[in-house]
Amino acid sequence: MKTNPFMLTLVLAVAVSLLSCSGGLGDKSPIAPTTNNIAGHSLMGSYKVRFDLASESVEIISFRITGNHYNVTNFLKPPTCSDCFQIHVQGIDWINHELTADVTVKNFTNALTGYDVRGIVYPLGDYVLKNPDAYTLLYAPLPVDTPAGFRAYEKIDPDRALGPHESSTETYVIGFPEGAGFIDLVYAVDASWPDHCPEPYDIYGFEQAHLGFEPGSTALVTVYVSDWQENTTKVTINTDLLGGSEYDLSHVSGEVWTGTVTNLYGMPPGTYPVMITGRDSETLNHLFQWFDLVVSPDTDIEPPIWDSDEGITSIAAGLGGVLVRFGTASDPSVPVTYNLYWSLTSPIDFDAANVVAGITGSPYLLEGLSPAEYFFCVRAQDEPGNETANTAETSAIVGEHPNVWWQDGPPLSSPRGYAGGLVSDGKFWVLGGSSAGTPFDTVEVYDPSLGSWSSPFSLPEPRDAFVCQEIDGSAYILGGRYSETATTDDCIAVSLLDGSVDDTLPKLPSELANAGSAKIDITIYLTGGREFTGTEWVSHRQSYSFTPGDVDFTGETDMEFDLYSFGMAAGPDYVILCGGYPDHAETMLYYPGVKSWIYKSAMEFATGGNVSVMVNGWFYSMGGEAGWMQMNNVDVYNLDQDMWYSIEPLNNPRFSAAVGTDGTYIYITGGFKNVGPATVPIASFEIGRIF
């Protein structure tokens, strides 16, 4: 490739700005290549561009913009600007007949943000933009009636926003015919303000099933259409080259549209361009995109090919089901789906075995199994029904212990550890916490029915590392810290309905942070913890209980050693704990009223900062750290068996997290991880489906 060092900078003397969009200055917009008044769009600038390929020079002519169309306040007037619009040619590839250029635009307003900024290329001759993001008819110069390609700016920004004084660059690849001396084109810069463009902004992810060359052959096609307003009402596909017409696609859900195309003429095998158009209910502007539709030479009789791992890669067994992970397979006839076979006998008889067909991807949770040993196999299948013939089996024993399928949920609004967690009325609450030693007063609640967090109120003061238990719709917050070294004995109850506070609770017998707690009926049991004396941290072994209405805390049996930051939960009539700082692996059982803690089978590893819940007689310990190594371990303990089992790990290592359960799901979020010499808070959130 021959490089071309020249750069041309065009100084825009008039507002190449975001001021004249619909709803801003009404009709006071710059004169576009056409005279259309386009709702929801602003023409930032339009130019005729000529690249002289022989002399490696470029000429830009700005179309006339009438200055008296503007009435702009002084603070919004653009400054003298040498970098408002730039073209930098990276090089010319004479073999492939391509010119590559970077085009930079700048928003030099002081206060306005433009959205969905596009650089539209209308070739004036036999030239083509080879890397368009999509196509549009916005500002089409007469007599052009073919959609033109454009590049969208700021695609890495989720809002696709270009703020005041911000610049953005896109790379254009323009093809030219052999022997051409010039590339002539019209270049228009479009933006939307004060909000996003009204029409769809992206069409992507085109997939098709096998399409044969026989006349009348059909294939299912799928495409994704993105629309900020989510009001796309019509998506069509034009199949003129196959003898068809413009077909309407059907809306499946979200951004997904699908439909059937027909090779009406029986066009021979090959690749045929088809145009997909997205329309919405609010504008006459459309978004266009070209995709390649493949007509295959033969009827597809070959099964998919496994990409790497064939069939099952792992199985995690639970009390009544299995979580199956498997490899991926590829095939020209999409979609590729997967069939899970299982049997009580080996080898599997695939004609008679149980099967779940049409699984779209890994992992897959199969439930409803009775306790037994099962044998499993996963096969891949393409759209015509061709299935792989792999026979390798994986066995698993169902019914020995529960397991958890961890999936990532939306993160907290900000990272934090030492927060309180609880479940009330089916919602997961996270209260307080801290980051870098600074406590929060934040209260966030995750609603599984909405799949999102909200913040209904705040705590009366920032606090972390406190005991947190729910009783009758209120969060009981006992002890904790007001700052990194300010432990407290204050106790309050916060209504989860309206945030009202009951501050008449008795004080703890001592200032306590990082104590363990569990609840039996409406009685809270707490033990261990630590306090800061003013010069040093002192760990505790004392145990207490509290029932709403008590005027003081009741002493319970103390542990035999000091302990803080450990997992603790309650069964019907007992409390169980495990791990904790410093370096403990013990599992201990306490029956209220009995004058001793009972040692049970220890955990495999000493760990501190682990958190726990109890579900149906199974005690779960999650995360923690051993030494400087944070852990994603999840272990489950059964009192009747006095045995620990290692089960599916968390997706993210963490310690001192907030945790809660509704009996079907375990929710865990926040906490800390160690990065080099530093301990940093995290915001990630995981939802565990118990099976």
Structure tokens at 140: 């089409």
The 10s digit of each residue's pLDDT in 167-218 is 999 999 999 999 999 999 999 899 998 899 999 999 999 999 888 888 988 9
In the chain, % of residues over pLDDT 90: 75
Q: What is the mean pLDDT of residues 275-298?
A: 88
Percentage above 70 pLDDT, the chain: 91
630/451: higher pLDDT: 451
- Express each pLDDT in 233-281 by its tens digit: 999 999 988 887 888 999 999 999 999 999 999 899 999 999 999 998 7
Distance CA 383, CA 394 (A): 26
Exposure string for 122-151, b = 16+ CB within 10 A, e = fewer: bbeeebebeebbbbbbbbbbeebeebbbbb
How is residue 74 annotated by DSSP?
G
Residue the block writes with tokens 């590829």? 330
pLDDT at 68 over 70: no
pLDDT beyond 50 at 78: no
Round the average pLDDT of the chain to a whole number and report it.
89
Q: Is residue 15 within 8 Å of 78, Cβ to Cβ?
A: yes
- Bridge partners of 287, per DSSP, are 278
Q: Could you tell me which residue, 593 or 115, shows the higher pLDDT?
A: 115
Q: pLDDT tens digit string along 558-588?
A: 999 999 999 999 999 999 999 999 989 999 9
Is the pLDDT at 66 greater than 50, yes or no?
Answer: no
Tell me the CA distances in angstroms from 267 to 240, 259, 274, 297, 580, one per residue in order: 11, 19, 14, 10, 71
31 has pLDDT over 60: no
Tokens 């088809």 locate to 274
Dist. CA 656–CA 672, nearest whole Å? 6
CA 103/CA 315 separation, integer angstroms: 51
Contact 187, 237 (CB under 8 A): no
Report pLDDT digits (tens) over 124-147: 889 999 999 999 999 887 777 889
Can you count the helices (H) and strands (E) in the chain? Answer: 0, 64
Q: For position 33, what pLDDT does the model report?
A: 47
Examine the pLDDT at 1 and tell me if it is beyond 90.
Answer: no
The SS3 call for residue 284 is coil
The model's pTM: 0.65
| CA–CA separation, 624 and 375 (whole Å) | 34
Angle at 356 between CA 352 and CA 359, to 5 degrees: 145
- pLDDT confidence of residue 81: 61
| pLDDT for residue 282 | 67
- Structure-block tokens of residue 28: 């006071």
For residues 4-8, give the mean pLDDT: 29
CA atoms 418, 422, 427, 432: torsion sign: negative
* 8 Å CB contact between 413 and 682: no
The number of beta carbons lying within 10 Å of the beta carbon of residue 636 is: 21
Q: pLDDT-derived band of residue 82, with 50, 70 and 90 as boundaries?
A: low
Q: By mean pLDDT, which of 158-167, 253-262, 294-303 is the weakest?
A: 294-303
**CB-based contact 280:198 (threshold 8 Å):** yes
- What secondary structure does DSSP assign to 581-614, as a single string? BTT---EEEE-TT-SS-EEEPPPSS--BS-EEEE
Least confident of 30-34, 454-458, 663-667, 677-681: 30-34
Beta bridge partners of residue 123, listed in sequence order: 185
Tell me the average pLDDT across 481-496: 97
- Alpha helix (H) ranges present in 58-189? none
- The one-letter amino acid at 3: T
Q: What is the pLDDT of residues 305-347, one digit of tens each?
A: 999 999 999 999 999 999 999 999 999 888 999 999 999 999 9
Local confidence band at 473 (pLDDT 50, 70, 90 cut-offs): very high
Whether 2 has a pLDDT exceeding 80, the answer reads no
Q: Which residue has the tokens 């069409």?
A: 203
pLDDT of 18 over the 70 cut: no
Q: Decide which of 386 and 676 is more confident.
A: 386
Q: Which amino acid is at 301?
A: I
At 255, which amino acid appears?
E
The pair of three-digit structure tokens given for residue 77, joined into one six-digit string: 């007037």
Q: Domains of the chain by range and CATH?
A: 2-192 (2.60.40.10), 202-295 (2.60.40.10), 322-399 (2.60.40.10), 405-690 (2.120.10.80)
